[in-house]
Amino acid sequence: MEVSGQHIGHGIREEEEQAISEKLPEILGEFSRERSSLLPILQRIQEAFKFLSPGAIKAVAEYLGLSGSEVYGVATFYNQFRFHPPGRHEIKICMGTACHVKGGDVILENFERRLGIKEGETTPDREYSIERVACVGCCALAPVAVVDDKVIGYMQPSKVEGLFLQFEIQRKIREGQIKTEAS
Amino acid sequence: MGERSEIGDRYETLRRRIKEELENEQNGVPTIRITMSTCARAAGAEETRKAIEDAIAAFGLSAKIIPVGCLGHCYAEPLIILDYPTTGLPPICYHSVNAGKARLIIQSYLQESDPAFEYIMGAMEENDLIPPVTTFPRFGLEERIVMTHCGRINPWDIREYIANDGYSALAAALTDLPERIIDEVEKSGLRGRGGAGFPTGRKWRLGRAQESNRKVVICNADEGDPGAYMDRTIIESNPHQLLEGIAICAYAVGADTAIIYIRAEYPLAVKTIEQAIREAKAYGFLGERILGSDFSLDVKIFQGSGAFVCGEETALIQSIEGRRGMPQHRPPYPVERGLWGYPTIVNNVKTFSYVPSIINKGAEWFQSIGTERSPGTAIFSIVGNVKHPGLVEVAMGTTLRTLIFDICGGIANKKTFKAVQIGGPSGGCLSEVFLDTPIDFDSLTQVGAMMGSGGMVVMDEDSCMVDVARYFLDFTQKESCGKCTFCRIGTKHLLDILDRITRGKGQEEDLKILEDLSRDIKQGSLCGLGKTAPNPVITSIRYFFDEYVAHVRDKRCPALKCRSLIAYYIDLERCARGCEACVGSCPVEAIFTTKGRKKAIDQSLCVKCGECMVACPKEYDAVLRVSPPELAPIIERPPMR
Amino acid sequence: MVKITVDGKKLETEEHLTVLEACLQNGIFIPNLCFLKTRPHPHASCRLCFVSIEGYDRPITACTERVRDGLVVKTDTPEVRALQRSAFKLLMSLHPCNAKLCPTEKPCLLMRIAKHIGVGINPKPLERINRGLPDFVDFGSLYYVPNRCVLCARCIHTCRSINKRPLLTFAKRGIMTMVAYFSSGNDSEVCSNCNACVDICPVAALLPKSAFINFLEAKETHA
C-alpha cells in the first residue's frame, strides 16, 4: 500500500536532508512570503540541491503559510521538479518533433542501453541520470541532447560513446586513479 | 505640450550621443560579429569565438568581437559577419565557421587582407566584388519586420538597438494619447501571434476600458510547441524590441506592471532578457517615469516550470500565482479579471515585437503587407527533413511551396516530400495537395491545421503519418493538465489506439473510434489544449487514410518506420565480403557472419535500432528494411565452431 | 426573477444562477459530478452537464452558463447525449465497477447517470485503462482509492472550506492525476476526522479507516 506523498525522496541519504535543511533558511530568505513566490522558490531550491526533498517541501509550506499538500500538489504538477536526487551527470534527450523525425528515440535508447537504466532513472552509483525533455528549441540541429546543461546538436550513437569515454576519464581523475600533468 | 516635446528631444539627444559613441569605438577597427544564440552555441559558436580570440591575440591584431543573436540560417551556424572597413569591402558573412575555419579566416582577411573567398556566404551589402547574400533565394523571398535586426545587432548592448532607432516608437507613443496608440494598432489589423489570431487592438481596447486601480501586461514566452523556437530566438536576438513593444502596450492600456513568462528550458533567453531589462532601466526606457514622462512600468520575469498547458493564458496566470497550471473556465477573461484579480492583457512575444514597427511606420504600411484578413508577416521555424532548416519571416499569404522548396531548399537527401506538420500538437499534418495554399490564420484553420506559434516540421517519405500522430498524442497526453475528462482520459485512449495500430495490433473498428473520440474531445474539452489535441489525428486520418488502412489491414508500415511492423535485413548481393562495419555498430550482437563470409541479422535478437543501416558504407548500402517483417529473408546462423 | 424554457417547460428562476443550478432546483436532472453549490467559480471538469441552448451552434456545459430571460434550453438532444455518453464512457474506462465491493448506496450516482443518458456502465467500445496505481493510498485517518476517483474535486473544495489550510490537493497531472494528502507535520495540518470529504465523495473513493476494515473483510470473503 502506498502512503500519500511518502513515495518521494527515494534514495536520499540522511546527511543530505540534513545539509539541505541547514541551507534552506538562507534561500527562503531571498523571497517574499507570498504565494506568487512559490514556483520561484521551488526553482531556486532545485537549482541549489538538484531536487526537492520532502523536508524542503515542508519548509517551503511553513515559510509561505501554505499547507504541505498545496506545495506538494503544485510541485508535482510541473515537469521541471524532481523528487529524487539525480546523477552527477544529467543527460536530457530532446523529444521535440524535429528530434522525433530525426530519430531522437534511437538516441534515447542508446543512452538507456549504455547505462542500463530507463529515462527518469539514476544509475545506482549516482553518476548518471537520463530524462526526456520537451523541445529545447534547437530543432535545426536535431537530434539534440542536453548533457550537463550543454546543448549537443546532430547527436549520433557514436557521440554517445565519446561522451562516456570523457566522463569516465574525468571520474578516474577525480578518484585519483589517473594523475594529471598538473598534479 | 511642452512636456511632450521634451520627451522627443530627450530621446533624440540620447540617440545621437550613442551613435557617436559607437562610431568612436569602431574607429576603423575590424569588427567580428558572431552568432551566439542557443542553436549557434550548440553548433560550436563558443569554440569558434575562442578560436577567433586566440587568433587575434596570436597575430597581434586589434579587432572587436561582438556577439549577436540568430540570423535565422540555423543550418549554417555558427555564422560570423566580418566588417573590415579600411579594405573598402562591405561586411562579409561566413557560414559554418568552426574553430579551424575561424583561424584561417582571421589570418587570411585581417592579417593578409584576403577575405578567404572559399568560406564566404555573401556580402551583407550590395557591391561589385562579392556576391551579396540577397542573391540567395531566402534573403530575396523573405520580408522581415520583427527579425530585421536579428543576428545583426548585439542583444547584450542596448546602444546598438538605440542606434538603429530603437525605443523611438516608445518615445513617440509617450507623446501621444493611449487611445490613439490603440487606434493605430487596431487599424493595422495586427492579430495575436500566439496562435488563435485574436485582433490585438481589440484586446488592448478591452484592457483600456477596464476600470481598475491596477492592470497587468503579460508577455507569453512559454513557447512550448515542439518544433517551434522563434520566440526564443527573438528574445535572444533582439530583446529590446520586445521590451519596447511591451512598454507601448502597458502605456496604451494603463498598466504599471509587466511580466514576461518564459520557459525555464531557455536559460540563455532568460539571461538575455534579464540583462536587457537592467539596461533599459538604466537608460530610462523602463522603470520609474519613463523618459521623464508620468508613465512608469515595472517589468519582471517569471520562469515557467515545464508545463505546456501554461501557454494557455488562464493556466499561465494560475502558475504565476503559485498554483497548479490548470486552465480556468472563461469568462471571466483575463482582460476582465486576470492575475491577482486585476485586468490582464496577455500577448505573445512576436505580437509585442511587431508593435514598435507599427507605431513607427504606421498602420497602413503594416496593412499593405500580407493578406487582407491577416496583415503583416508570419515567422516560421521550418525544420525536419529540409535542406536548409531555420527561421523564416515572410509576408502572410506565402505558399508552403515557396517556404519549403524555394526558401529552405527542398527536401534533404534526395527524398520526396510527404507532409508538413504545422502548428505543433494543436496543428495538423498537411499533404502535398496543400503546397500551393497561401498560408494565413484562416486558410490554415480551414484545412484543419492551425497557425499555432508557427512551427513547421517537414517530413519526407520515411516519416509514417500514423507514427507522427502517435508522437503528438503522446505529447499532449503527457502535457494534459488532467482537469477535464475529455482531455485527461480521451487523449490517453487516442494514444493507446494509435500505439496499438503502430504495433500492428489495430482493428478496423479502431479507426472509427479514433474519429468519433477525436470529434468529441474537440467539442467537449474545457480549454484550447484539449480542443485542439485531436487535430493531428483528424488531419492525418483525413489526408493519409491509406497509411492507416495499411497498418490496420495489412499490418504493414508503408514508410518503413513503425518498428513492430518492419524488419532489417542484409542484402547478400550487396554486402561486401569481409566488411565488418555493421557488426561493431550493433548494440545487441545480432549480426553474424554467413557461410559465404557475408553478414546477416538474427531477427530474434534484432532491436531494430537501425544503427547497422547507418554504419553500412554508402557504396554497399546493403542494409534494407521491409514491411511486414515476415518478408525478410531467413538466414540460418551457422553453428558455432 | 428570470424566465427560461427547459425542454419546453417554462421556468421562473432566480437571477445569477447557472443553468445547471436552475434546472436542479426545479427538479430537472442534468448529469453532473463536479458541481458544488458552494464553489464560486465552476470547476467545469467532469464535462457531463452539457445542454443545448438556442443560439449556440454546439452543446455547452450548463454549470458555466448563467440564466437570462428568454433562454431556451434542451437537455436531451442527440448532440448533448452523444457528448455525455462519450464523457461517461471515458470516466468508466478508469473506474472498475464492482458492485459487490463498492460501498456506495445503490444505485450509485454513476448508475443513475448511466440510466439517465441511456448507456451501460461499461466503457465499450473503449478499453479499460490500467494506470498501475496502487489499490489504496493511506491518508492518515482515511484511505483513498485512486482507481475509483473521478477527480471531481468535491473533497478538495469541501476540505478547503472547512479547514483554512487545505489538507487535500490534486497531485501529479494528466492521466496520473490523483488526490493527495501531504502533511508538513504541523499540528494545524492533522486531519480532524470530520469526514466531510468522505460524505461529499460521489463514488466512495475516500473511506474512513473503520469502514475500510469492513471493506477489506468483504473483499476477502468475496475473493
With cell 470530520, the residue in question is C194
Closest to B71 (Cα-Cα) out of B86, B81, B57: B81
The secondary element (H helix, E strand) that includes residue B348 is strand B344-348
Residue B4 to residue B196: CA distance in whole angstroms:
37
Q: Is 80 exceeded by the pLDDT of residue A6? A: no
Check if CATH label 3.10.20.740 holds for domain C2-77. Answer: yes
One of 3.40.50.1010, 3.40.50.170, 2.40.50.100, 3.30.70.20 is the CATH number of C132-223, namely 3.30.70.20
User: pLDDT of C129-156, one tens digit each?
Assistant: 999 998 889 888 889 999 999 999 999 9
pLDDT of residue C213: 66
- B523 and C93 within 8 Å at the Cβ level: the answer is no
Residue B316 to residue B384: CA distance in whole angstroms:
29
Residue B92 to residue B122: CA distance in whole angstroms:
6
A-chain residues within 8 Å CB-CB of C135? 1
Q: Which of residues 246-275 of B touch C (CB under 8 A)?
A: none
Closest to B491 (Cα-Cα) out of B478, B500, B501: B478
CB pairs under 8 A between A and B: 153
CA C173 to chain centre: 18
- The alpha-helical segments, DSSP class H, found in B424-527 are 441-446, 465-479, 485, 491-502, 508-524
Q: Which residues contact C112 (CB under 8 A, 6 or more apart)?
A: none
User: pLDDT of B468-507, one tens digit each?
Assistant: 999 999 999 999 999 999 999 999 999 999 999 999 999 9
- B524 and C47 within 8 Å at the Cβ level: the answer is yes
- C181 and A5 within 8 Å at the Cβ level: the answer is yes
Domain boundaries in chain A?
14-77, 89-174
Q: Which of residues 40-79 of A touch C (CB under 8 A)?
A: 57-58, 61-62, 66-73, 76-77
Determine contact: B306 vs chain C, CB below 8 A: no
- B524 and C46 within 8 Å at the Cβ level: the answer is no
State which residue of chain C sits closest to A67, comparing Cα positions: C165
pLDDT of residue B453: 82
User: What dotted CATH number matches A89-174?
Assistant: 3.40.30.10
Query: What are the CA-CA distances from residue C198 to residues B221, C177, C204 (Å)?
Result: 42, 19, 7
CA B84 to chain centre: 32
Residue C67 to residue B39: CA distance in whole angstroms:
53
User: pLDDT of A163-179, one tens digit each?
Assistant: 888 898 988 888 888 77
User: What dotted CATH number matches B166-364?
Assistant: 3.40.50.11540
ipTM above 0.90, yes or no: yes
The ranges of chain B with pLDDT < 50 are: 1
User: Contact, B238 vs B223, CB < 8 A?
Assistant: no
Q: Is the pLDDT higher at A37 or at C184?
A: A37
Q: Which residues contact B215 (CB under 8 A, 6 or more apart)?
A: B207, B253, B254, B255, B256, B257, B342, B343, B344, B345
Residue C195 to residue C141: CA distance in whole angstroms:
9
CA B416 to chain centre: 23
Domain covering B466-553, topology = de novo design (two linked rop proteins) (1.20.1440)
The residues of C whose Cβ lies within 8 A of any Cβ of B are 41-48, 50, 58-59, 64, 82-83, 86-87, 90-91, 93-94, 125-127, 129, 151, 170, 172-177
Average pLDDT score over chain B: 94
Q: Is B636 helix (H, G, I), strand (E, B) or coil?
A: coil
State which residue of chain B sits closest to C123, comparing Cα positions: B493
Alpha carbon of C121: minimum distance to chain A alpha carbons (Å): 28
pLDDT of residue B639: 79
User: pLDDT of A101-147, one tens digit each?
Assistant: 888 988 998 899 889 999 888 998 889 999 988 888 788 888 999 99
Q: Residues C58-65: what's their mean pLDDT?
A: 95
Among the partner residues B319, B384, B471, nearest to A39 by beta-carbon distance: B319
User: Contact, C155 vs C179, CB < 8 A?
Assistant: yes
The secondary element (H helix, E strand) that includes residue C10 is strand C9-13
- C173 and A76 within 8 Å at the Cβ level: the answer is yes
With cell 575561424, the residue in question is B102
Q: Which residues contact B455 (CB under 8 A, 6 or more apart)?
A: A97, A139, B225, B226, B227, B228, B229, B380, B381, B383, B422, B423, B424, B427
User: Contact, C34 vs C46, CB < 8 A?
Assistant: yes
Cβ count within 10 A of residue B601:
23
Alpha-carbon torsion, ordered B52, B56, B59, B62, to 10 deg: 150
Domain covering A14-77, topology = Arc Repressor Mutant, subunit A (1.10.10)
Q: Is B374 helix (H, G, I), strand (E, B) or coil?
A: coil
Cβ count within 10 A of residue C78:
8
State which residue of chain B sits closest to A112, comparing Cα positions: B587
C-chain residues within 8 Å CB-CB of A76? 171-173, 180
Pairing between strand B377-384 and B623-626? unpaired
Determine the residue among C19, C65, C175, C179 to mutate to test chain B binding: the one whose Cβ has the most chain B Cβ atoms within 10 Å.
C175
User: pLDDT of A51-102, one tens digit each?
Assistant: 999 999 999 999 999 999 999 999 999 999 989 888 999 999 998 888 888 8
A-chain residues within 8 Å CB-CB of B233? 137
- pLDDT level of residue A1 (50, 70, 90 thresholds): very low
Closest to B118 (Cα-Cα) out of B138, B97, B149, B99: B97
- A70 and C166 within 8 Å at the Cβ level: the answer is yes
Q: A104-115 and A157-174 helices cross at what angle (nearest 10)?
A: 40
CA B599 to chain centre: 43
Task: Write out the CATH class of domain B566-631.
Answer: alpha beta
pLDDT of residue A142: 87
Check if CATH label 3.40.50.620 holds for domain B377-463. Answer: no
With cell 579600411, the residue in question is B86
B341 grid coordinates: 484579480
pLDDT of residue A183: 44
Q: Is 70 exceeded by the pLDDT of residue C194? A: yes
- C181 and A3 within 8 Å at the Cβ level: the answer is no
Domain boundaries in chain B?
20-133, 166-364, 377-463, 466-553, 566-631
Domain boundaries in chain C?
2-77, 132-223
User: pLDDT of B330-356, one tens digit each?
Assistant: 889 999 999 999 999 999 999 999 999
- B307 and C173 within 8 Å at the Cβ level: the answer is yes
The dihedral through the CA atoms of A45, A46, A50, A53 has a sign that is positive
Dihedrals φ, ψ of B386, to 5°?
Answer: -105, 160
Residue B368 to residue B395: CA distance in whole angstroms:
10
pLDDT of residue B1: 44
pLDDT of residue B486: 98
User: Contact, B420 vs B404, CB < 8 A?
Assistant: yes
pLDDT of residue B621: 94
- The gap between the terminal CA atoms of chain C, to the nearest Å, is 56
Task: Write out the CATH class of domain B20-133.
Answer: alpha beta
Q: What share of chain B is helix, strand, coil (3-state, %, to 5)?
A: 45, 15, 40
pLDDT of residue C26: 95
Residue C137 to residue C84: CA distance in whole angstroms:
30
- What b/e sequence results for B28-57 when a residue is b if at least 16 CB atoms lie within 10 Å of its CB, and e otherwise? eebbbbbbbbbbbbbbbbbebbebbeebbe
